[in-house]
Amino acid sequence: MNGTFLLIVYFSNHEPDAIGPVFLRLLGDSKILVVENGSCDGSEELRTRLLNELSSGKKTPAQIDNLGDPQSMFRGFEREIGKAVYNTGKTIVLEDSPWTDKEGGRFLAVFVPPRAASLDEALVKLRTALDEGGSLVRQRDEAYASQLSGLVKQSSSARILAMMGSGHERAVSRFLKEKGVAFREVRQPSSMPSTYRSIALERAENQDGLSRLDLLRCLAEMVPRRAFIPLGFRGELLMYFWVKDSSEGELVEYLSGIYSQRSRV
């Protein structure tokens, strides 16, 4: 089904529907599953062991659920992966991310509104944060491609399914091609629009350059309109479409008012 490719790279957002029919079919055709490492906090060895115990049938998803902290990472996206691999006999490998918890913290700073006395200062700080975040992501993308290249060479004829978040397609694919790795790319469309923060970070990751409008949209998402906040997830969608439909001038007016108020506090 997968032709002659020994490596399939599956790009998807970390949503429950990512672990759907397409993923399960690809998993069935593979011997090794490489899982994106969503938490570089020193628990990688433990999580790898637990995922392989699920795959071998030594533990059930219910047993993992009952372990409690520090295995709480299995309540999220990895929990769905754990259910999918249960009793399949697949070898599970966790992404060997170069990030430590410190790098992860630096990356998360991209999603925090910058402290600034003016909108212009905030935009300068946001651009710097995005450039640093993009550099960190490129470093991780290249390390992931190197790991996959090594696994392809080591595993002989075993088919490998590798997972990676949406937005990393260009960089990971480029690094794999540079390393001479033949692969097939599968993309799982998201049911939700990408946030402007994700779009800006992807542009920084690929060194595409960020316009002033990119930065304004990104910053506006970070400081949502108060009327939208109580609406939860629906409010996030409303904010996305409000930002999408707003002109550069409207975004400047909105954000200037916010940073003017903050400078007086």
* More confident site: 76 or 85: 85
Residue 72 has pLDDT above 50, yes or no: no
Q: What's the pLDDT at 194?
A: 80
Q: Is the pLDDT of residue 2 over 80?
A: no
In the prediction, which pLDDT does 56 show? 97
Q: Running DSSP on this structure, what letter comes out for residue 226?
A: T
Q: Which of 100-114, 150-164, 205-219 has the lowest mean pLDDT?
A: 100-114
**pLDDT for position 220:** 94
**Highest mean pLDDT of the ranges 80-84, 122-126, 256-260:** 122-126
Task: List own/partner pairs for 96-100 with CB under 8 A and 24 or more apart.
Answer: 96/37, 96/143, 96/144, 96/147, 97/37, 97/40, 97/140, 97/143, 97/144, 98/139, 98/140, 98/143, 99/40, 99/136, 99/140, 100/40
| Selection from 103, 173, 95 nearest residue 135 by Cα | 103
pLDDT digits over 9-52, tens only?
999 987 777 889 999 999 999 999 999 887 777 778 888 998 99
- Cα–Cα distances in angstroms (integers) from residue 114 to residues 91, 97, 252, 264, in the given order: 42, 27, 16, 16
Omega prior to 70 cis, within 30 of 0: yes
Inform me whether the pLDDT recorded for 76 exceeds 70: no
Partner residues linked to 184 by β-bridges: 8
